[in-house]
Amino acid sequence: MRKKLITGNWKMNTTSLTSKDLLTGLVSGLSDEILEKIEVVVCPPFTSLAAAGEIIKNKKIRIGAQNIHQKNEGAFTGEISAPMIKSLNCNYVILGHSERRQYFGETNHLINAKVKNALKNNIKPILCVGETLDERENNVHKKIVDEQVTLCLKDLTKDDMKNVIIAYEPVWAIGTGKTATPEQANDMHIAIREALENLFGKEAAESTRILYGGSMNDKNASELLAKPDIDGGLIGGASLKVESFINIIESAIK
Ligand code: PEP
Protein backbone atom coordinates (compact mmCIF):
# COMPACT_ATOMS: atom_id res chain seq x y z
CA MET A 1 0.00 0.00 0.00
CA ARG A 2 1.56 3.29 -1.12
CA LYS A 3 0.80 6.25 1.15
CA LYS A 4 -0.24 9.28 -0.90
CA LEU A 5 2.21 12.18 -0.92
CA ILE A 6 1.35 15.77 -1.75
CA THR A 7 4.33 18.07 -2.30
CA GLY A 8 4.33 21.81 -2.82
CA ASN A 9 7.05 23.35 -4.98
CA TRP A 10 7.15 27.04 -4.17
CA LYS A 11 9.84 27.66 -6.80
CA MET A 12 11.41 31.16 -6.66
CA ASN A 13 8.45 32.62 -4.76
CA THR A 14 8.00 33.94 -1.22
CA THR A 15 10.33 35.96 0.99
CA SER A 16 11.34 34.92 4.49
CA LEU A 17 8.26 36.75 5.77
CA THR A 18 5.63 35.51 3.31
CA SER A 19 6.89 31.93 3.47
CA LYS A 20 6.39 31.96 7.25
CA ASP A 21 2.79 33.09 6.76
CA LEU A 22 2.14 30.44 4.13
CA LEU A 23 3.62 27.61 6.17
CA THR A 24 1.95 28.73 9.39
CA GLY A 25 -1.38 28.77 7.51
CA LEU A 26 -0.79 25.21 6.33
CA VAL A 27 0.25 23.98 9.76
CA SER A 28 -2.88 25.39 11.36
CA GLY A 29 -5.18 24.21 8.55
CA LEU A 30 -4.01 20.60 8.49
CA SER A 31 -5.10 18.37 11.35
CA ASP A 32 -3.03 15.46 12.62
CA GLU A 33 -5.79 13.20 11.36
CA ILE A 34 -5.29 14.39 7.78
CA LEU A 35 -1.52 14.16 8.10
CA GLU A 36 -1.80 10.56 9.33
CA LYS A 37 -3.47 9.68 6.04
CA ILE A 38 -1.52 11.85 3.62
CA GLU A 39 2.16 12.72 3.69
CA VAL A 40 2.72 16.43 3.04
CA VAL A 41 6.04 17.98 2.02
CA VAL A 42 6.54 21.64 1.19
CA CYS A 43 9.60 22.90 -0.65
CA PRO A 44 10.26 26.60 -0.02
CA PRO A 45 13.27 28.48 -1.41
CA PHE A 46 16.60 27.85 0.37
CA THR A 47 16.35 31.24 2.13
CA SER A 48 13.23 30.11 3.99
CA LEU A 49 14.32 26.60 4.92
CA ALA A 50 15.79 27.49 8.32
CA ALA A 51 12.62 29.26 9.47
CA ALA A 52 10.47 26.52 7.93
CA GLY A 53 12.48 23.87 9.79
CA GLU A 54 11.63 25.62 13.07
CA ILE A 55 7.92 25.97 12.21
CA ILE A 56 7.51 22.28 11.40
CA LYS A 57 9.48 21.00 14.42
CA ASN A 58 7.25 18.44 16.22
CA LYS A 59 4.69 18.66 13.39
CA LYS A 60 3.82 16.08 10.80
CA ILE A 61 4.41 18.34 7.80
CA ARG A 62 7.84 17.84 6.24
CA ILE A 63 10.03 20.23 4.27
CA GLY A 64 12.18 19.75 1.23
CA ALA A 65 14.64 21.76 -0.85
CA GLN A 66 14.29 22.43 -4.58
CA ASN A 67 17.84 21.48 -5.53
CA ILE A 68 21.24 20.53 -4.12
CA HIS A 69 24.77 20.34 -5.46
CA GLN A 70 26.17 16.89 -6.20
CA LYS A 71 29.11 17.37 -3.79
CA ASN A 72 28.98 17.82 -0.03
CA GLU A 73 31.31 20.84 0.19
CA GLY A 74 34.00 22.77 -1.60
CA ALA A 75 34.73 25.78 -3.79
CA PHE A 76 31.36 26.03 -5.54
CA THR A 77 30.32 29.64 -4.97
CA GLY A 78 26.59 30.13 -4.60
CA GLU A 79 25.75 26.43 -4.31
CA ILE A 80 23.94 24.59 -1.49
CA SER A 81 24.83 21.08 -0.40
CA ALA A 82 22.95 18.11 1.02
CA PRO A 83 24.51 18.37 4.53
CA MET A 84 23.52 22.06 4.62
CA ILE A 85 19.83 21.34 4.05
CA LYS A 86 19.93 18.23 6.25
CA SER A 87 21.05 20.40 9.17
CA LEU A 88 17.81 22.39 8.81
CA ASN A 89 15.36 19.52 9.39
CA CYS A 90 15.04 19.07 5.65
CA ASN A 91 14.75 15.45 4.54
CA TYR A 92 13.52 15.74 0.95
CA VAL A 93 14.82 17.38 -2.21
CA ILE A 94 13.29 17.93 -5.64
CA LEU A 95 15.82 16.90 -8.29
CA GLY A 96 15.77 17.07 -12.07
CA HIS A 97 12.85 19.49 -12.29
CA SER A 98 12.27 20.47 -15.92
CA GLU A 99 13.10 24.10 -15.09
CA ARG A 100 16.53 22.95 -13.84
CA ARG A 101 16.98 20.89 -16.99
CA GLN A 102 15.80 23.68 -19.30
CA TYR A 103 17.31 26.82 -17.75
CA PHE A 104 20.33 25.45 -15.91
CA GLY A 105 21.44 22.76 -18.33
CA GLU A 106 21.02 19.84 -15.91
CA THR A 107 21.56 16.52 -17.66
CA ASN A 108 20.42 13.04 -16.64
CA HIS A 109 24.05 12.33 -15.76
CA LEU A 110 24.29 15.29 -13.38
CA ILE A 111 20.89 14.53 -11.87
CA ASN A 112 22.05 10.97 -11.23
CA ALA A 113 25.04 12.32 -9.25
CA LYS A 114 22.68 14.55 -7.22
CA VAL A 115 20.28 11.67 -6.53
CA LYS A 116 23.17 9.53 -5.25
CA ASN A 117 24.44 12.36 -3.07
CA ALA A 118 21.00 13.00 -1.58
CA LEU A 119 20.67 9.32 -0.66
CA LYS A 120 24.17 9.26 0.84
CA ASN A 121 23.03 12.07 3.14
CA ASN A 122 19.73 10.37 4.07
CA ILE A 123 17.67 12.82 2.06
CA LYS A 124 14.82 11.50 -0.06
CA PRO A 125 15.05 12.63 -3.68
CA ILE A 126 11.85 13.51 -5.53
CA LEU A 127 13.09 12.81 -9.03
CA CYS A 128 11.21 14.67 -11.78
CA VAL A 129 10.87 13.22 -15.27
CA GLY A 130 8.65 14.19 -18.17
CA GLU A 131 8.50 14.83 -21.90
CA THR A 132 8.16 18.07 -23.88
CA LEU A 133 5.19 18.73 -26.14
CA ASP A 134 7.36 18.08 -29.16
CA GLU A 135 8.38 14.68 -27.80
CA ARG A 136 4.76 13.74 -27.13
CA GLU A 137 3.67 14.85 -30.59
CA ASN A 138 6.46 12.76 -32.10
CA ASN A 139 5.33 9.80 -30.03
CA VAL A 140 8.66 9.38 -28.23
CA HIS A 141 7.33 10.40 -24.78
CA LYS A 142 7.59 6.90 -23.30
CA LYS A 143 11.08 6.39 -24.68
CA ILE A 144 12.26 9.76 -23.30
CA VAL A 145 10.82 9.16 -19.84
CA ASP A 146 12.20 5.61 -19.75
CA GLU A 147 15.64 7.01 -20.58
CA GLN A 148 15.36 9.69 -17.88
CA VAL A 149 14.35 7.11 -15.26
CA THR A 150 17.11 4.70 -16.28
CA LEU A 151 19.91 7.29 -16.41
CA CYS A 152 18.89 9.31 -13.34
CA LEU A 153 18.64 6.14 -11.22
CA LYS A 154 21.82 4.53 -12.58
CA ASP A 155 23.80 2.46 -10.03
CA LEU A 156 21.03 2.61 -7.40
CA THR A 157 19.96 -0.58 -5.61
CA LYS A 158 16.45 -1.75 -4.86
CA ASP A 159 17.17 -0.86 -1.24
CA ASP A 160 17.93 2.73 -2.30
CA MET A 161 14.55 2.81 -4.03
CA LYS A 162 12.80 2.67 -0.64
CA ASN A 163 13.81 6.33 -0.30
CA VAL A 164 13.21 7.55 -3.84
CA ILE A 165 10.05 9.25 -5.06
CA ILE A 166 9.37 9.86 -8.75
CA ALA A 167 7.34 12.76 -10.10
CA TYR A 168 5.98 12.50 -13.63
CA GLU A 169 5.72 16.06 -14.89
CA PRO A 170 4.97 16.54 -18.58
CA VAL A 171 6.81 19.77 -19.45
CA TRP A 172 3.86 20.99 -21.53
CA ALA A 173 1.66 20.90 -18.43
CA ILE A 174 3.92 22.76 -15.98
CA GLY A 175 2.66 26.25 -15.24
CA THR A 176 0.60 26.28 -18.44
CA GLY A 177 -2.86 25.51 -17.09
CA LYS A 178 -2.91 22.44 -19.39
CA THR A 179 -3.18 19.25 -17.37
CA ALA A 180 -2.61 15.72 -18.60
CA THR A 181 -5.90 13.84 -18.53
CA PRO A 182 -6.11 11.31 -15.69
CA GLU A 183 -5.83 8.57 -18.34
CA GLN A 184 -2.75 10.09 -20.00
CA ALA A 185 -1.08 10.54 -16.61
CA ASN A 186 -1.94 7.06 -15.35
CA ASP A 187 -0.71 5.53 -18.60
CA MET A 188 2.67 7.24 -18.13
CA HIS A 189 2.82 6.18 -14.49
CA ILE A 190 2.32 2.57 -15.60
CA ALA A 191 5.16 2.99 -18.12
CA ILE A 192 7.41 4.41 -15.37
CA ARG A 193 6.52 1.52 -13.07
CA GLU A 194 7.47 -0.90 -15.85
CA ALA A 195 10.81 0.87 -16.24
CA LEU A 196 11.34 0.56 -12.47
CA GLU A 197 10.46 -3.13 -12.59
CA ASN A 198 13.07 -3.71 -15.29
CA LEU A 199 15.67 -1.95 -13.19
CA PHE A 200 14.86 -3.03 -9.64
CA GLY A 201 12.28 -5.83 -9.74
CA LYS A 202 8.55 -6.01 -9.14
CA GLU A 203 8.51 -5.37 -5.39
CA ALA A 204 10.50 -2.14 -5.64
CA ALA A 205 8.42 -0.98 -8.61
CA GLU A 206 5.16 -1.66 -6.76
CA SER A 207 6.24 0.20 -3.65
CA THR A 208 7.76 3.31 -5.29
CA ARG A 209 5.51 6.34 -5.19
CA ILE A 210 4.97 8.13 -8.49
CA LEU A 211 3.50 11.63 -8.22
CA TYR A 212 1.84 13.59 -11.00
CA GLY A 213 2.78 17.24 -11.55
CA GLY A 214 1.62 19.78 -14.09
CA SER A 215 -1.11 22.37 -13.41
CA MET A 216 -2.71 20.26 -10.71
CA ASN A 217 -5.22 22.33 -8.76
CA ASP A 218 -8.18 21.91 -6.44
CA LYS A 219 -10.52 21.43 -9.42
CA ASN A 220 -8.71 18.60 -11.18
CA ALA A 221 -6.87 16.93 -8.27
CA SER A 222 -9.52 14.40 -7.19
CA GLU A 223 -9.86 12.88 -10.65
CA LEU A 224 -6.10 12.58 -11.09
CA LEU A 225 -5.51 11.25 -7.58
CA ALA A 226 -8.23 8.63 -7.98
CA LYS A 227 -6.19 6.80 -10.61
CA PRO A 228 -4.56 3.63 -9.27
CA ASP A 229 -1.00 4.45 -10.31
CA ILE A 230 -1.03 8.11 -9.28
CA ASP A 231 0.33 8.21 -5.74
CA GLY A 232 0.17 11.93 -5.12
CA GLY A 233 1.03 15.27 -6.64
CA LEU A 234 3.84 17.76 -7.08
CA ILE A 235 2.13 21.11 -7.12
CA GLY A 236 3.61 24.45 -8.16
CA GLY A 237 1.25 27.42 -8.55
CA ALA A 238 -1.61 26.02 -6.49
CA SER A 239 0.70 25.30 -3.53
CA LEU A 240 1.18 29.03 -2.98
CA LYS A 241 -2.36 29.47 -1.71
CA VAL A 242 -3.19 27.91 1.66
CA GLU A 243 -6.78 27.12 0.73
CA SER A 244 -6.14 25.50 -2.64
CA PHE A 245 -3.21 23.46 -1.33
CA ILE A 246 -5.28 22.18 1.59
CA ASN A 247 -8.15 21.35 -0.78
CA ILE A 248 -5.78 19.31 -2.93
CA ILE A 249 -4.47 17.46 0.13
CA GLU A 250 -8.02 16.72 1.24
CA SER A 251 -8.96 15.44 -2.17
CA ALA A 252 -6.19 12.84 -1.86
CA ILE A 253 -8.13 11.20 0.97
CA LYS A 254 -10.33 8.50 -0.51
C1 PEP B 1 5.99 22.15 -10.75
O2 PEP B 1 6.66 23.17 -10.75
O3 PEP B 1 6.50 21.09 -10.38
C4 PEP B 1 4.59 22.22 -11.19
C5 PEP B 1 3.94 21.11 -11.36
O6 PEP B 1 4.08 23.47 -11.40
P7 PEP B 1 2.53 23.85 -11.69
O8 PEP B 1 1.71 23.07 -10.70
O9 PEP B 1 2.45 25.31 -11.48
O10 PEP B 1 2.24 23.42 -13.08
Percent of the chain beyond pLDDT 70?
100
**Does the global pTM surpass 0.75?**
yes
- Answer whether 234 contacts ligand 1 (Cβ < 6 A): yes
Examine the residue annotation and report whether 69 is marked as an active-site residue of this protein.
no
Whether 232 shows a pLDDT value over 80: the answer reads yes
Please identify which of the residues 69, 97, 141, 189 carries the catalytic annotation: 97
Using the mean position of ligand 1's atoms as its centre, give its distance from the Cα of residue 75 in Å: 32
Position 1 scores a pLDDT of 85
Examine the residue annotation and report whether 39 is marked as an active-site residue of this protein.
no
pLDDT level of residue 244 (50, 70, 90 thresholds)? very high
pLDDT level of residue 18 (50, 70, 90 thresholds)? very high
Using the mean position of ligand 1's atoms as its centre, give its distance from the Cα of residue 215 in Å: 6
Using the mean position of ligand 1's atoms as its centre, give its distance from the Cα of residue 213 in Å: 6
Residue nearest to atom 7 of ligand 1 (CA): 236
pLDDT level of residue 111 (50, 70, 90 thresholds)? very high
Give 38-57 pLDDT, tens digit per residue.
999 999 999 999 999 999 99
- Answer whether 216 contacts ligand 1 (Cβ < 6 A): yes
Give 144-195 pLDDT, tens digit per residue.
999 999 999 999 999 999 999 999 999 999 999 999 999 999 999 999 999 9
- Answer whether 94 contacts ligand 1 (Cβ < 6 A): no
Position 254 scores a pLDDT of 73
Mean of pLDDT values over 6-13: 98
Residue nearest to atom 4 of ligand 1 (CA): 236
- Answer whether 221 contacts ligand 1 (Cβ < 6 A): no
pLDDT level of residue 92 (50, 70, 90 thresholds)? very high
Residue nearest to atom 6 of ligand 1 (CA): 236
- Concatenating the DSSP letter of every residue in 170-220 gives -GGGTTTS----HHHHHHHHHHHHHHHHHHH-HHHHHHS-EEEESS--TTT
- Concatenating the DSSP letter of every residue in the chain gives -PPPEEEEE-TT---HHHHHHHHHHHHHHS-HHHHHHSEEEEE--GGGHHHHHHHTTTSS-EEEES---SSSSSS-TT---HHHHHTTTEEEEEES-HHHHHHH---HHHHHHHHHHHHHTT-EEEEEE---HHHHHTT-HHHHHHHHHHHHTTT--TTGGGG-EEEE--GGGTTTS----HHHHHHHHHHHHHHHHHHH-HHHHHHS-EEEESS--TTTHHHHHTSTT--EEEESGGGGSHHHHHHHHHHT--
